[in-house]
Amino acid sequence: MQTTQNILTNLLKLSVCAVLTLGATCLAQDKKADPTGKWTWTVPGRNGGPDRTNTVTLKLDGEKVTGKVTSPTRDGTRDTDIEEGKLKGDEVSFTVTSDFNGNKMSRKYSGTVTADSIKGKIEFERNGEPQKRDWEAKKVTDKK
């Protein structure tokens, strides 16, 4: 009788552990990446000038991502709304279209979101040729 009780106790413990593990795995899979917040990245300055820091502020609503990119200019900064922002799994993408003296330039950003970075590619056209650059933004955390 004691052996049967030990077997049943062990089976019960194993079952409880299996259920808890399965539940934790399901919760982890349901948790989506969240790009909401402020992110910064640096690009080299033109002709050896100082590096320029850009900022994007993103907000997630379902799978739709909205926000603004803030870029340095000669006279300060410029805010540009993002377009076509979306999140699928941990992949975020959006487009930024800038207007320079009547010339429009679009840049498509895509990347994998983690808790503290977005790492991916920027696609754009220069002199009629498609270009790709690596892109990595770091999440800005509030310093208290």
Cβ-proximal residues to 42 (8 Å cutoff; 6+ apart), any chain: 51, 52, 53, 54
Report the relative pairing of strands 129-139 and 37-43 from DSSP bridges: antiparallel
Domain boundaries, the chain: 1-31, 37-139
Task: Please report, rounded to a whole number, the percentage of residues in the chain having pLDDT higher than 90.
Answer: 53
How many Å apart are CA 96 and CA 107, to the nearest integer? 5
Residue bearing the bigger pLDDT, 86 or 102: 86
At 70-79, the pLDDT tens digits run 998 888 898 9
At 31-40, the pLDDT tens digits run 678 999 999 9
How many Å apart are CA 113 and CA 56, to the nearest integer? 13
Largest CA distance in the chain: 89
**Fold adopted by 37-139:** Lipocalin (2.40.128)
